[in-house]
Amino acid sequence: MSRVLTAVTTSPARAASIAAVVVGVLLPFWVGAYWLSALVWVLIFALGALGLDVLTGRTGQISLGHAFFLSVGAYTGAVLGLTLHLSALLWIPAGGAVAAVVGALVAPTALRLKGMYLAIVSIGLVYLGQYIFTNVSYFSGGPGGRSMPIPAFGSLNFANGLSIGPIFINDDGLYYYLAFILLGLGMLFVRNVSRTHLGRSMTAVRDGELAGAVLGVNVARTKITAFVVSSFIAGIAGAMYGSYLNFATPGQFDLGLSVQFVAMIIVGGMGSLWGPVLGGLFVWGLQSELDSLASSLPFLQGGAHTSGIPVGDAAAIVYGLLLIVFLLLEPRGVVGLGHRAALLARRRHVLSRGPAVISSVTDSDTQTHQKVR
C-alpha cells in the first residue's frame, strides 16, 4: 500500500490516470439517462479516434477513410453476432481482426503515396465500402440497412441489464462500462507500443521517412504495421458503434464520419495518449450539448423552433472553426494547451520562490517542452 501511495505522490501523471479511472467508474451513477448515452458515444468515438491517431498522429499517414474500417468491424459483428449467433467475446474482437486484415491489404498503397495524395486515395475507400455494403445485402442488409447484435456474455445480456444487489445497471450502463474497458485496454496497448522499437520507428517515419531510413528504420514494415494496428482498433470501435446503434445503414459510414475522427485527433492533440479521449469528449459532447440547448437557442432548430440552423450543421461549423484555430495556433490541441498551462503555472511558482532557481527550472521546462513535441 505504501508503494502505491509513493508512486501516486511522486508521479502526477499516474495520479491523474488513477483519478480518471475512479471518476470513469462512478460517472454513470452521477449523470442522467441522456448524458449517460452521450458518454457511451464519447467512449466509442474516442476508441475509434485512438486508432486513427496511431496512423496519423504517430506515423504521419493522413487518412480520410477511417469510416470504412469502422463499417468493416460493424458488419463483421453483425454477421457473426446475429447471423451465426456467436458470443460478444468472439464477434467484437473478430470485427477488429477482419478490419486489420483489410488494413493489411490496403496498406501497400501507403508505400507509394504520401500526404494529400494518400488522403485523397483513402477517401475512395469510404465510397468503395458504401458501394460494396449497399449491394451485398448478406453483410449489410442492402441500402435499407440491418439490425445489429446486442452484446451477450453467457447469461449476461445487455438488453436485460444487470442487477448487483440493490444496484441495477441498465443497457446504457453496460455499454458504457464495456466501452470504458475497451478504451482503457486500447490506451494501454498504444502506450506500450509507443515505448517499443515499433513506436520509435513510427515516430521516425512521421518526422522524416528519409532520415528514418538512413537510421535503419524499415519504413515499409512500419507503415504497414501502423495501418494494421489502426484498422484493428477501428474495427473494434465499429463493432461497438453498430451494436449501440442497434440498426445501421451503409450511408451512416460516410466521409463525414471520417472527418469527425480527424477533427477529434486534431482538437484533442495528435500523437498523445489522451488526445483522442479529449477530442472525442469535445466533438461528441459539443453536439450533445447543442442538442440539449436547441429548444432554448433561437438560432438552432429544435423544440418549438422550426427555423434556424440544424444542430448537425451548427456542430460542423464549430468543428471547422476549431480545426482552423488549433492548426494555426496550437497544433498539439487541447493536450498542448494543458502542457502550456502546466509550464506557466510552474514558472509562476518558481518566480514566487525567488530568482535563484529560475534558470535551472527554465532549462528543465525547455527539455520537457522538447519531449512533448
- Average pLDDT on 178-201 reads 95
Cβ proximity of 274 and 282 under 8 Å = no
Instruction: Name the residue among 10, 18, 16, 11 with its Cα closest to residue 335.
Output: 16
Cα gap 88→180, rounded to integer Å: 16
Q: What is the pLDDT of residue 293?
A: 73
* Per-residue confidence (pLDDT) for residue 369, from 0 to 100: 47
Q: Would 265 be classed as within a structural domain? A: no
Q: What angle do CA 320, 96, 86 make, to 5 degrees?
A: 130
- For residue 127, pLDDT over 90 is answered with yes
Instruction: Give the cell for residue 238.
Output: 465499429
Q: Is residue 173 part of a domain?
A: yes
Is 199 inside a domain boundary? yes
Is residue 266 in a domain?
A: no
- Cα-flanking dihedrals φ and ψ of residue 171, to 5°? -65, -40
> Count of domains in the chain?
1
In a domain, 50, yes or no: yes
Q: What are phi and psi of 248, to 5 degrees?
A: -135, 145
Work out the widest C-alpha separation in the chain, in whole angstroms: 72
Q: Is 274 part of a structural domain of the chain?
A: no
Q: What are 246's three cell numbers?
A: 442497434
> Is the confidence at residue 135, as pLDDT, over 50?
yes
Condensed to tens digits (0 to 9), the pLDDT of residues 31-59 reads 889 889 999 999 999 999 999 999 999 99
Q: Which residues of 336-370 are buried (b: 16+ CB within 10 A; e: fewer)?
A: bebbeeebeeeeeebeeeeeeeeeebeeebeeeee
Q: Tens digit of pLDDT for each residue in 137-180?
A: 999 999 999 999 999 998 899 999 998 888 899 999 999 999 99
pLDDT tens-digit profile of 240-297? Answer: 999 999 999 999 999 989 988 999 999 999 999 999 999 988 887 777 777 777 767 7
Instruction: Indicate the pLDDT class of residue 371, thresholds 50, 70 and 90.
Output: very low
Residue 249 lies in a domain: yes
**Residue 338 resides in a domain:** no
Whole-model pTM: value is 0.88
Which whole-number Å values give the CA distances from 245 to 37, 154, 278, in the listed order?
Answer: 11, 22, 22
Domain that holds residue 89: 31-256
For the segment 352-364, the average pLDDT, to the nearest whole number, is: 56
CA 292, CA 64: separation in Å to the nearest integer? 29
> Distance between CA 287 and CA 279 in Å, rounded?
12
